[in-house]
Structure 1
């Protein structure tokens, strides 16, 4: 998700509020995930040459410990059991790990705690819809794997203009690039003599979504696949507003000194793109529009 330094729930459906409450309560639990429900994802054969580039401690353990904010459907969110993390990010990185000869252990965490957790080696990697940007690459190694933009959503039947939301109440998740986005828009309002935007920040994206459904907030903005999924899963309670903008790559987050490991992950992604596994996974979750052809370690970004 578009998230800045330091963008996810059980499928919403008709019982949206209840499902989101269950998922939030389970946040912070350590979980080991499969691919979740839905169409099966083909297994990826291990590549010995890539496996040799895995850091010794991880290779010895045979598994990679992943920090994720499991409140960001369809990217990473909790299954109906309230423990198992699933989503497009989960399916895709599980396949990457298989290429590296590793199993995965997904640990739910607050989004803002993941990068510090990677830096302190609590997690081997952060996989949580992190937007690649220069600020993050100052302290981490990042490997791009997907592209997303920002999208707005509101309650069906409501009207809001993202370019003139002055005086409105808008929901965003803490620590995301959308916080900067809406803060800048509010500043333009006040500079023009109009009412400021009330910016409500939520720890979990599911809570931001629920705030719009309940009418507490007039609108929300989040990463484009997240908004699209929320609209679909709430059976028409929400509607998308305006166009997708500010597209940028997502990246896996590694410790700063692990560029070589990042290179192995990049090559694993390239193999998954070449054999069609990458496309199969994205299509399963309906996010194939965000596919990229050229994953990279610390890609250049504007």
Structure 2
């Protein structure tokens, strides 16, 4: 009888241990998984200056690149930058091909239905860029005109928010990236380009005398890091790290490097 009792007790203890171990495994968080593999995979459009782009040596550099590197260091992991098709970047994130999207991603209602975001870290507007000397001065002057923008971008969303303006256009040309859109504008193949202000003004500064930004725009927004809705712990950790970087001046240092001023949202 004693043998049966002790055998049953051993089985009970063993089963409890297995359940406890299984519970530990299930409760491991998304940030734990990232720390286990030792790398944070960042998805981006690698032709989006100054946020993330390739330099003369084909290295991926930029404002968001430096921010992500510093954040990853504070999270205790390395960082890997993985270029993806921007039009499918949310799909890539939710499939698990990447851990976050960190590339001047505007926080929009339509995106928030599919993914979560970190705290906002930068303000932005959707500006209208035209050739130098253009007669286009405001949105109403775009009637019948050909407008370029990046496919799947917040510029496309911003235009669609102004249904009457969108309907009045002669055509909308969609590009895989903003650089192509602005090159076509310079070549006279479009009349205007809708683009993130931070990106547009950076690109314009590199080609003085070619473009100008009109006073009208398609609205303001903020940038955030795109995160899967299920990755709650990662969002908490990332928000904490971003707050630390703002508080200790690291974010402002990176901002000074790329923009010549401190423009990080506090």
- 2:136 is matched with 160
Tell me the number of residue pairs that the alignment of Structure 1 and Structure 2 aligns.
Answer: 237
Q: Return closer, same or farther for 1:197/1:183 CA change in 2, 3 Å cut-off.
A: farther
* CA displacement, residues 255-275 of structure 1 (integer Å, 9 cap, x when unaligned): 211111101100101111111
Gaps of 5+ in 1: 1-51, 294-302
Cα offset, 1:245, TM superposition: 5.5
Select the structure of larger CA radius of gyration: 2
Q: Return closer, same or farther for 1:251/1:110 CA change in 2, 3 Å cut-off.
A: same
- Higher helix proportion: 2
Cα offset, 1:157, TM superposition: 2.3
- 1:67 is matched with 43
Indicate if the aligned counterparts of 2:126 and 2:195 stay in contact, CA closer than 8 A.
yes
Cα offset, 1:196, TM superposition: 3.0
Q: Return closer, same or farther for 1:186/1:217 CA change in 2, 3 Å cut-off.
A: farther
* CA displacement, residues 40-78 of structure 1 (integer Å, 9 cap, x when unaligned): xxxxxxxxxxxx976222112211111101121111111
Residue 121 of structure 2 aligns to a residue whose secondary structure is strand
Counterpart of 2:226 (choices 249, 253, 266) is 253
Residue 170 of structure 1 aligns to a residue whose secondary structure is strand
- 1:137 is matched with 112
| 1:120-269 correspondence to structure 2 within 5 Å | 120-143=95-118, 144-164=120-140, 165-183=142-160, 185=162, 187-188=164-165, 196-243=169-216, 246-269=219-242
Residue 107 of structure 1 aligns to a residue whose secondary structure is strand
Q: Return closer, same or farther for 1:240/1:287 CA change in 2, 3 Å cut-off.
A: farther
TM-score under structure 2 length normalisation:
0.82
Residue 105 of structure 1 aligns to a residue whose secondary structure is strand
Q: Return closer, same or farther for 1:111/1:188 CA change in 2, 3 Å cut-off.
A: closer
- 2:55 is matched with 79
- 1:3 is matched with none
Cα offset, 1:224, TM superposition: 0.7
TM-score under structure 1 length normalisation:
0.73
Residue 122 of structure 2 aligns to a residue whose secondary structure is strand
Q: Which segment drifts farther, 129-138 or 260-269?
A: 129-138
- 2:256 is matched with 283
Q: Return closer, same or farther for 1:196/1:55 CA change in 2, 3 Å cut-off.
A: closer
Gaps of 5+ in 2: 1-27
* CA displacement, residues 265-300 of structure 1 (integer Å, 9 cap, x when unaligned): 00101111111111111121117464211xxxxxxx
| 1:31-46 correspondence to structure 2 within 5 Å | none
Q: Return closer, same or farther for 1:184/1:116 CA change in 2, 3 Å cut-off.
A: closer
Q: Return closer, same or farther for 1:189/1:148 CA change in 2, 3 Å cut-off.
A: closer
The CA distance in 1 between the partners of 2:161 and 2:231, in whole Å, is 35
Residue 215 of structure 1 aligns to a residue whose secondary structure is coil
Residue 232 of structure 1 aligns to a residue whose secondary structure is helix
Counterpart of 2:32 (choices 56, 72, 87) is 56
- 1:109 is matched with 84
Superposition CA RMSD, Å: 2.1
